Amino acid sequence: MNTAPAKISTVKEIYALPLAAYLMTASDVVHSLEVSIDTGLTTEEAKSRLEQVGPNELELYRQKSLLQLFLEQFKSPLAWVLALASALAFGFGEDLEAIAILVVILINAIIGFAMEWQAMSSMEALRQLTQTFARVYRNGKLVEVETAGLVPGDVVYLEAGDIPAADMRLLETVNLGVNESALTGESVAVSKQIEPIAATTVLGDQRNMLFRGTVVSRGNARAVVVRTGSRTEIGKIADLAQRASKEVTPLEKKLSKLSQKLIWLALALALMILVIGLLQGRDIFLMIEMAIALAIAAVPEGLPVVATIALARGMLRLARQQVIVKKLSAVETLGETQVIITDKTGTLTENQLLPDVMGFEFGTAGVHFQGEQLVLDDPADRYLLQTYAHSQLQHVAVLCNNASLDEHPSGPGTGDPLEIALLKMVAGSDTAPAAIRDAYSRIREIPFDSERKMMGTLHKNGRRPDYLVCIKGAMEILLRESDYILTVDGKIPLSETQRRAWMDKADTLAAKGLRVLGFGYSEIPVPKADFFENIVFIGFVGFLDPPRQTVKSAIDRCKAAGVQVVMATGDHPETAKNIGLKTGLIGFAESPVIKGPDIKPPAELSEREKQRLLSARIFARVNPAQKLHLVDLFQQEGFIVGMTGDGVNDAPALKKADIGIAMGSRGTEAAKEASDLVLKDDQFASITEAIRQGRGIFTNIRHFVIYLISCNLSELLIVAGAYLSNLALPLFPLQILFMNMVTDVFPALALGMNRVDDGVMERPPRGKGEPIITPHAWRAIIEYALALTVATIGAFLWAIYYLQLGDAPANNFAFYTIIIAQLWHVFNLPDPHQSFWRNAITRNPYVWMALAGSILIMLLAYWIAPLQAALHLVPFRMEWLGWVLLFSITPVMMVRIARLLRL
């Protein structure tokens, strides 16, 4: 229980350490913070401290107030141009026109505000999803708490890959190394100590402290939190606030580039129309207003914010499917991904690890679980389990292990799945892991890392005066380290022939898809730093780790989508190949498997070697540095690469990849921090889903842009066409503004929210840096705009010459035709290969709502007197409506016919 004599009650007291924590002894710090190192704080105490000191968060995300957001809408150039137009209208005595323009400014601001607010709240929801956790002692138990809930006095357990979430004073360390480059710029791991430091020193020399934002690169530690939130060293760094400045995604950059181009185009066209109109002697004010309306029409200024909404909504949708996207730009890159380099264990496989076979010098036995009990496949093998070797294997399995089981052994356990599996194996043979751990206290540990592929521990050897060394790891490493082998009669030297025979055995098991782990031990008289000597090889355990059921179809989908999947695993080549075959990654058993050492930095590879690596699908016994070389190689060949990883050493490769993908449940904090994507369920299939969404979102944005530009271009063409043929005006400036600010916006927004259809996974990825509007899309835009123009001018001429209408009703005739034609126009956008009736757009409820909304607004405009006057609407006869509908549907028909002729 907490041994604190009295409760600390004020913030000041909590932070009132008599000296800086690094100058004090660990026990003084713990004492000052009134906490017990073994039990940590109680939940109530932690809660009360949290209330006093506030959440452990950096104040990076200061939100704009809603009023600020609304007022910002009036800052846009568009609002200024419209204000100018309104002022001009007043000047020319067109009061109604002037007020109408002011209303347009207001409506536009409201729409802009609503969109930005939506974008902002989506971003906030996403930020909430990226919560991180820390392992903390509370009420005597090691539990995971959200890092925002850490308080001074919390005793935290950290191991390789963790990112300290507050500033802490170290209490115990095991071979601890910390990368503090985030604070000091020094990228070499610093070793740590627990002794106090004699004099005041700089951060980099405070060797007994752990700072927020650094990375534990090896070993493990216990530490007590001394400062949280913005009081931490990193929280004090002023320029951090800049990091929070809004990220501009490449997509947004592309969109603003496109907008700029369109602005110039619009200005040129508007000017041309102004000049022609003036030459034709038309009304000056009307011409200026028309030029402004057309210029505004051509500028799709809502583009960036719609893109943000589409991206953010995509991210939220992915979050529901257990994929956390950390950067907006990742959604876009996902759609371009051409190669995915994935690890095997836990991503392609279940990672549930069931022991299947145990092997010793004197025999091998098949095993399986029956409930929680580990039983032999053949009871005749019982003798194996009664040997000293089996008992030693159990000791190593438990001692050389950092995992722990839940109170009930069937619980999921905490720690590395392989180590949990080992504990369950021992517990299943009626031996209590806790009893072994109690009898052999641990003195030192050489933690597992995927570079070394093994782990070692040193223990007090029970009641004996000497010390027990335990080692477990990949078979080839164990056999290399071992000098002896344990037989029924004790240890004998391990010959080279035996080594080879054991390697062959391991290969055979691996070829069946088993994950094979070797075990060894030794007894040494005195403890040493490098304690691997006279190792005795005990035997191995082979674990079944079947592929996840969803993987095969996910890999097939990637293939169909032109995404190449490559496995890069730390496991044995034969195990890798077996899983590759089962998941359909490779098609036949002869497919080559490249081993880690063959992967060198691209500069050291010959052209032939490069081609060999680029065409391979499986890389085995790969270490993190080699993963980095692989990413490099693929990138140099121009591929967009996604890469998965979980360990602290994977961080550089994850950062280098275009899309770094970390595993949420088994990944380290360091890997998550370095990644763009976190898969909460560690499943490969989620990557495929993320790619699908990424592509879908881009397609939606493209549809949205094509829709808006083609509508706007048609308006330009209609007015220009009418001028050139010296007709009356088919559209008035305010009508154009009305369409662009009101009726067009909803269908366009709805297009940005289309559900992603499966068609996107039947095409190869977009090329790197492909523009939003490809030449092909430009052709489509021009085609659509022409169809809309022909229909509207046709309707206008029909009204004048066939129906013999006057200027005003003929203008209304054209106005209604173009509005409705633009609504129909959304149905031109689905992929030409999709059914006209059933596609992503017809299935999108937002599209239908948007169409209904736009029609409703149009009816309101017709009925509300001031709007009616501003839009120059005159009474419209029902019998004309049939003609309007007919003309308005012709663009869709024209486009269909053109497609049929082309196909």
| Among 40, 161, 473, 765, interactor with ligand ATP by CB under 6 A | 473
Least gap, CB of 785 to ligand ATP (angstroms): 52
**Is 448 among the residues that bind ligand ATP (CB under 6 A)?**
yes
Based on CB atoms, which residue is closest to ligand ATP, 232 or 649?
649
453 near ligand ATP (CB under 6 A): yes
- Name the closest residue to ligand ATP (Cβ): 570
Q: Which two tokens stand for residue 17?
A: 């350490």
> Which is closer to ligand ATP, CB of 97 or CB of 419?
419
**Nearer Cβ to ligand ATP (450/789):** 450
In the bound state with ligand ATP, the residue whose beta carbon lies nearer, of 233 and 481, is 481
* Size of site (CB under 6 A) for ligand ATP: 18
Q: Does 595 bind ligand ATP (CB under 6 A)?
A: no
Q: In angstroms, what is the minimal distance from the CB of 257 to ligand ATP?
A: 41
The whole-angstrom separation of Cα 221 and Cα 173 is 4
Structure tokens at 825: 């126009």
HEC sequence for 536-578: EEEEEEEEECCECCCHHHHHHHHHHCCCEEEEECCCCHHHHHH
Which segment (263-271, 284-292, 294-302, 452-460) binds ligand ATP by CB under 6 A? Answer: 452-460
According to CB under 6 A, which one of 104, 454, 745, 772 is a site residue for ligand ATP?
A: 454
Q: Shortest approach of ligand ATP to residue 682 CB, angstroms?
A: 10
Task: Tell the smallest beta-carbon distance from residue 508 to ligand ATP (Å).
Answer: 16
Beta carbons of 745 and 302 less than 8 angstroms apart: yes
Instruction: Give the DSSP H or E segment for 363.
Output: strand 363-370
Count other Cβ atoms within 10 Å, centred on residue 258: 17
The number of CA neighbours under 13 Å toward the Cβ of 15 is 12
Interaction pattern, residues 552-571, with ligand ATP; x per rule: CB under 6 A: -----------------xxx
In the bound state with ligand ATP, the residue whose beta carbon lies nearer, of 381 and 598, is 598
Among 136, 270, 418, 751, binds ligand ATP (CB under 6 A): 418
- Residue 854 binding ligand ATP, by CB under 6 A: no
The CB density around residue 195, as the number of other CB atoms within 10 Å, is 10
326, 677 Cβ separation under 8 angstroms? yes
Active-site amino acid positions: 343
Q: Does residue 328 belong to the site contacting ligand ATP (CB under 6 A)?
A: no
- The DSSP-derived string for 229-268 is GGGSHHHH-TTHHHHTSPP--HHHHHHHHHHHHHHHHHHH
Of 146, 148, 170, residue with least CA distance to 157? 170
Task: Using the rule CB under 6 A, give the single segment among 284-292, 446-454, 704-712, 756-764 that binds ligand ATP.
Answer: 446-454
Residue 474 binds to ligand ATP (criterion: CB under 6 A)? yes
Closer CB to ligand ATP, residue 109 or residue 421? 421
As given in the structure block, the two tokens for residue 34 are 């009134």
Q: Which of residues 333-392 bind ligand ATP (CB under 6 A)?
A: 343-345
Between CA 58 and CA 638 the distance in angstroms is 38
- What is the β-pairing status of strands 641-645 and 659-663? parallel
Nearest distance from C-beta of residue 337 to ligand ATP, angstroms: 19
Hunting for tokens 């929680």 — which residue is that? 372
**Is residue 212 a contact point for ligand ATP (CB under 6 A)?**
no
Residue from 517, 671, 719, 753 touching ligand ATP (CB under 6 A): that is 517
Q: Beta strands 641-645 and 339-342: pairing type? A: parallel
Task: Decide if residue 455 touches ligand ATP (CB under 6 A).
Answer: yes
Contacts 24+ apart (CB under 8 A), 836-843: 836/896, 839/757, 840/754, 840/755, 840/756, 840/757, 840/759, 841/703, 841/751, 841/754, 843/755, 843/757
**650 touches ligand ATP by CB under 6 A:** no
Interface region with ligand ATP, contact rule CB under 6 A, candidates 358-366, 471-479, 734-742, 810-818: 471-479
Contact 847, 841 (CB under 8 A): yes
Query: 857 burial class (0-12, 13-18, 19+ CB within 10 angstroms)?
Result: middle
DSSP secondary structure string, 830-864?
A: S-TTS-SSSSTTTT-HHHHHHHHHHHHHHHHHHHS
Query: What is the smallest separation between the CB atom of 12 and ligand ATP, expressed in angstroms?
Result: 45
Q: Which of 72, 416, 598, 807 binds ligand ATP (CB under 6 A)?
A: 416
With respect to ligand ATP, which residue has the nearer C-beta, 45 or 571? 571
What does the binding site for ligand ATP look like in residue numbers (CB under 6 A)?
Answer: 343-345, 416, 418-419, 448, 450, 453-455, 472-474, 517, 569-571
